[in-house]
Homo-oligomer: A and B are copies of this chain.
């Protein structure tokens, strides 16, 4: 089998962790597999480099930032190769440009255009373990680029795709994907399998196991990802197109997102085109709007409520105030004291009463629902931030308890 394994920054943070991970890689190789390993920068290296840069230039160019940051992964792959050499294994480290990881020229957030298989195949044919620097590539001009957040996951999936790898294992500090955050919900269960779409919803809802981008890439090329722990040796969660569900499971997971704000545009005249003008203002300010609710306000007016990422709340309010006179609404309320709690499950809509079960759980827990949003595979509610954990626990108990 050809197996791609990715290890994050905390997995290679110091000599001890490097040696530990080398043990995992060595065991995989000893089973007779071809192994390609993708690594992130060690622990805090990236933050330290950013710090150094800011000391010299508070606004460095993204090109030079990429030249600087890409050294972190290069150090990781050299050190891991040394650890494998120390136990007598054939190994070679390769950077982004050495494996022909070609990207566009969007420094700091480059998109992969293609990955050459030539060098990778040549090294695998020599029965070498190949250690690849994640997160980095080169553009057509041979300039160094980085892929942005979660870039190493994306590197691993892209390599698994072009090499038609049999497995793509993403090692993290959790044992897999859970029905809810196990630190908050003690009886949360690890899922054996989950679909790409469910994983995408869970990731966007704040369950930060895999970055969406790598899941999207995996979905497009049919790469089965396994999320598992680098600390304990047991199988994790497979992310794939169709997931087997445990019999009784109606949903795959529950997630909460604290980083939302609710805006209420109060006293919007009850005339056509008002909603268009509000959300057009948001679009022009490049602000993503999530849940939307329109309700009757005082006589002849409506209230338009919607949620935005908490970091965009101020900009959204400012954009609205700019059009206050033109629209003629009364005022804008901004509430950052809210939380979005969601249940996710493929084919949820085909099973009746899933949403009702969620609402009932919240009602029993005496938690007020401020807004509701639904999609094919999820139901989200907006509640008071103070009740977030309690809400997740209550819903979890109802579905998995």
Q: Which residues of A line the B interface, CB within 8 A?
A: 15, 18-19, 49, 52-53, 55-58, 60-61, 63-65, 67-68, 70-71, 74-75, 77-79, 81-83, 85-86, 92-93, 95, 97-98, 119, 142-144
Whether A53 contacts B68 by the Cβ 8 Å rule is no
CA distance A70 to B144 in the complex (A): 15
Select from chain B the residue with minimum beta-carbon distance to A42.
Answer: B52
Q: Which residues of B contact A81 (CB under 8 A)?
A: 61, 64, 67
Whether A56 contacts B98 by the Cβ 8 Å rule is no
- Please tell me which one of the listed residues B55, B56, B77, B82 contacts residue A53 in the complex, with CB atoms under 8 A apart: B82
The CB with the most chain B CB atoms within 10 A, among A55, A67, A71, A142, is that of A67
- Please tell me which one of the listed residues B18, B68, B93, B143 contacts residue A56 in the complex, with CB atoms under 8 A apart: B18
Q: Which residues of B contact A143 (CB under 8 A)?
A: 98
Whether B85 contacts A61 by the Cβ 8 Å rule is yes
CA distance A92 to B61 in the complex (A): 10
Whether A68 contacts B61 by the Cβ 8 Å rule is no
Q: A15-B56, A93-B64, A98-B142 are in contact. Are A75 and B82 (CB under 8 A)?
A: no
Would you give the shortest CB distance from A17 to chain B, in whole angstroms? Answer: 10
Show 20 residue pairs from A and B whose CB-CB distance is below 8 angstroms, ordered by the A residue.
A19-B56, A52-B79, A53-B78, A56-B86, A57-B82, A57-B85, A61-B85, A64-B78, A64-B81, A64-B82, A64-B93, A67-B95, A68-B74, A68-B78, A70-B74, A71-B78, A74-B74, A95-B144, A98-B143, A119-B142
Q: Which residues of B contact A142 (CB under 8 A)?
A: 98, 119
Select from chain B the residue with minimum beta-carbon distance to A52.
Answer: B79
The CB with the most chain B CB atoms within 10 A, among A68, A92, A119, is that of A68
Q: Which residues of B contact A65 (CB under 8 A)?
A: 78, 82
Q: SS class of chain A's interface: helix, strand, loop or mixed?
A: helix
Whether A82 contacts B98 by the Cβ 8 Å rule is no
The CB with the most chain B CB atoms within 10 A, among A53, A64, A79, is that of A64
Q: A61-B85, A85-B61, A97-B97 are in contact. Are A56 and B71 (CB under 8 A)?
A: no
Whether B82 contacts A60 by the Cβ 8 Å rule is yes
Q: Which residues of B contact A83 (CB under 8 A)?
A: 56-57
Select from chain B the residue with minimum beta-carbon distance to A15.
Answer: B55
Select from chain B the residue with minimum beta-carbon distance to A74.
Answer: B71
- Please tell me which one of the listed residues B61, B92, B144 contacts residue A82 in the complex, with CB atoms under 8 A apart: B61
Q: Which residues of B contact A98 (CB under 8 A)?
A: 142-143
CA distance A70 to B75 in the complex (A): 9
Whether A75 contacts B79 by the Cβ 8 Å rule is no
Select from chain B the residue with minimum beta-carbon distance to A80.
Answer: B56
CA distance A18 to B142 in the complex (A): 26
CA distance A213 to B63 in the complex (A): 33
Whether B74 contacts A79 by the Cβ 8 Å rule is no
CA distance A367 to B86 in the complex (A): 52
Q: Which residues of B contact A64 (CB under 8 A)?
A: 78, 81-82, 85, 93
Closest 8 CB pairs of A and B: A68-B78, A71-B71, A57-B82, A57-B86, A60-B82, A67-B78, A15-B55, A64-B81
Q: A52-B15, A98-B142 are in contact. Are A67 and B60 (CB under 8 A)?
A: no
CA distance A312 to B67 in the complex (A): 41
CA distance A86 to B56 in the complex (A): 8
CA distance A243 to B57 in the complex (A): 43
Known: A63-B92, A64-B82. 14 other contacts (CB 8 A): A19-B56, A52-B75, A52-B79, A53-B79, A53-B82, A56-B83, A57-B85, A61-B85, A67-B78, A68-B78, A70-B74, A71-B74, A71-B75, A97-B97
Q: Which residues of B contact A85 (CB under 8 A)?
A: 57, 60-61, 64
Q: Which residues of B contact A55 (CB under 8 A)?
A: 15
CA distance A64 to B68 in the complex (A): 19
